Chains A and B, each alone.
Chain A
Amino acid sequence: MTGIIDYGVGNLFSLRSSLAMIGEDCAVTGAPEELRSFSRLILPGVGAFGDAADKLRATGLFDAVREYAATGRPLLGICLGMQLLFDKSLEYGEHEGLGLIPGEVTPIERDIAPGLKIPHIGWNALSFKKSSPIFRDLRDGEFVYFVHSYHATGCGPYVSAVTDYGGTLTAAAERENVYGCQFHPEKSGETGLKILRAFCKLEG
């Protein structure tokens, strides 16, 4: 059973529907003590990093997610949920993240050509930097749907996929059992479902 962490940030409808579509049992939970009962966890999220990190702390989920990751079971962060996996973010000040993957979250503006629209919204191609179990059914160049203004940097060895938006942006990163996708697999059509299906086959 896959758990979807609900900490009051973002819309879980599509994620639940997409797991139902691939035949994966899932449950939404906001209770820190329940996390350990799942075989794998998904940390979603949209919005601002600081607010989201505060909510994780206020609900006790911050420590519970870290403890879960330490058990070696698979954890997938999506969009803001991915950004939260890193050490810190520079979005509106400096905020501490979960520290599960080394690196920091910085404005994409620093890494792209001037004049491009921010946020980076739409379908862009993945280019893989190493083989990842969650991308094993994808070909290089498949398209996924992005909506973001920040991305992970300083995480070189952990980057599993990048995308080109007038500069190189981190599209996915992973460290051992902890995976992050900057894009939305639950909004990326068949390609996204392939990623979720592969993640849901992982065992801790």
Chain B
Amino acid sequence: MITKRIIPCLDVRDGRVVKGVNFQGLSDVSSPVELAKYYSDSGADELVFYDITASAEGRRLFTDVLTRVAERVFIPLTVGGGINTLEDFDRVLKCGADKVSVNSGAIRDPALVGKAAKRYGDQCVVISADVKRVNGRFTVFARGGRDDTGLEAIEWVKRCVGEGAGEVVLNSIDTDGVRGGFDLEMLRAVSEAVDVPVIASGGAGSVRDFVTLFKTLPRVDAGLAASILHFGEVTVRDIKTALRDEGVNVRL
């Protein structure tokens, strides 16, 4: 049977991995190529690279890094950050990405998801949504959590899936970086609304949080993690061993 996926997420700026707490106070962690190889060897099922660079020079460094990772690491690679046009899809796919994740780019141009799915296939297009509760309503934020779009999250995700997005990454701004567990309420709402894979993001603080995630929400397909893994307190193998012991199917 298909396994639940554990996906380390690497935020990359100017060719280096960083991880912020609630998107602020970024701190340098390590080299993306080294980390990618390490994670692949330790059982990561997939890797996500978010390019959080603003400059053209940083973007060039990012594609260089991506190419070097894709030459050495043979598990699925998803790229996000700075994806606004079909040319951006092309740029990262040529450097070895398998899937491309769109966030603010889809909010700016709602036709982007559909156009990309038609050209590269649904399996290639991931909709990533940064969601925060505003007056009790799940609301989509753009530009790395800075701009309130006013869009209701469930409707937004359903619309993107309808246009051809093949997977959904749901990042809860409310739990991101807090490391107190995934946002189960938000994830439940989204995973019940769509029939494509849903990847949980934001809040993983312990091995237990992954067990709780998959035991509580069997419709969630994968869990994303950054700081918990980058600092080496917990390994992918630790997470998977705990999941297997609890009867959750994993690749181990």
Stretch at the interface among A35-43, A66-74, A120-128: A120-128
Which listed residue, B71, B75, B124, touches A187 by the CB 8 Å rule? B75
- Say yes or no for B88: interface residue by CB 8 A criterion: no
How distant is the Cα of A21 from the Cα of B69 in the complex, in angstroms?
A: 12
Give the size category of B's interface with A. 20 to 34
Contact present for A14 and B74 (CB under 8 Å): yes
Contact present for B1 and A17 (CB under 8 Å): no
| Proximity string of chain A (122-137) to chain B, C-beta cutoff 8 Å, 1 when within and 0 when not | 1111000000000000
Contact present for A122 and B121 (CB under 8 Å): no
Contact present for B76 and A187 (CB under 8 Å): yes
- Say yes or no for B94: interface residue by CB 8 A criterion: yes
Which listed residue, A11, A21, A166, A186, touches B1 by the CB 8 Å rule? A166
Q: Is the interface of B mostly helix, strand, loop or mixed?
A: loop
The residue of chain B having its C-beta at the shortest distance from the C-beta of A193 within the complex is: B74
Which listed residue, B2, B70, B124, B195, touches A14 by the CB 8 Å rule? B70
- Shortest beta-carbon distance from B12 to chain A in Å: 18
| Proximity string of chain A (155-172) to chain B, C-beta cutoff 8 Å, 1 when within and 0 when not | 000000000111000000
How distant is the Cα of A117 from the Cα of B192 in the complex, in angstroms?
A: 12
- Say yes or no for B27: interface residue by CB 8 A criterion: no
Contact present for A165 and B2 (CB under 8 Å): yes
Q: A11-B98, A13-B96, A189-B40 are in contact. Are A122 and B197 (CB under 8 A)?
A: yes
- Say yes or no for A31: interface residue by CB 8 A criterion: no
Contact present for A186 and B74 (CB under 8 Å): yes
| Proximity string of chain B (167-197) to chain A, C-beta cutoff 8 Å, 1 when within and 0 when not | 1000000000000000000000000000111
Q: Is the interface of A mostly helix, strand, loop or mixed?
A: mixed
- Say yes or no for A119: interface residue by CB 8 A criterion: yes
- Say yes or no for B159: interface residue by CB 8 A criterion: no
Contact present for A17 and B70 (CB under 8 Å): yes
Contact present for A145 and B1 (CB under 8 Å): no
Across-interface contacts of A125 in B (CB, < 8 A): 1
Contact present for A17 and B76 (CB under 8 Å): no
Interface core residue of B40, B72, B95, B121 (most chain A CB under 10 Å) = B121
- Shortest beta-carbon distance from A198 to chain B in Å: 15
B interface residue numbers (CB < 8 A to A):
1-3, 5, 40, 45, 70-72, 74-76, 93-96, 98, 121-124, 166-167, 195-197, 221-222, 251
List 27 A-B residue pairs with CB atoms under 8 Å apart, sorted by A's residue number.
A11-B94, A13-B94, A13-B95, A13-B96, A14-B70, A14-B98, A17-B70, A17-B74, A18-B74, A21-B71, A46-B121, A47-B121, A117-B196, A120-B2, A121-B2, A121-B166, A121-B221, A122-B5, A122-B45, A143-B3, A145-B75, A145-B76, A146-B2, A147-B123, A164-B1, A187-B98, A192-B74
Given contacts A14-B96, A187-B75, A187-B98, 17 further A-B contacts (CB under 8 A): A13-B94, A17-B71, A18-B74, A20-B71, A21-B74, A46-B124, A121-B2, A121-B221, A123-B2, A123-B251, A143-B3, A143-B251, A145-B76, A146-B2, A166-B1, A189-B40, A192-B74
The 7 nearest A-B residue pairs measured at CB: A143-B251, A13-B96, A123-B251, A17-B71, A147-B123, A122-B2, A123-B3
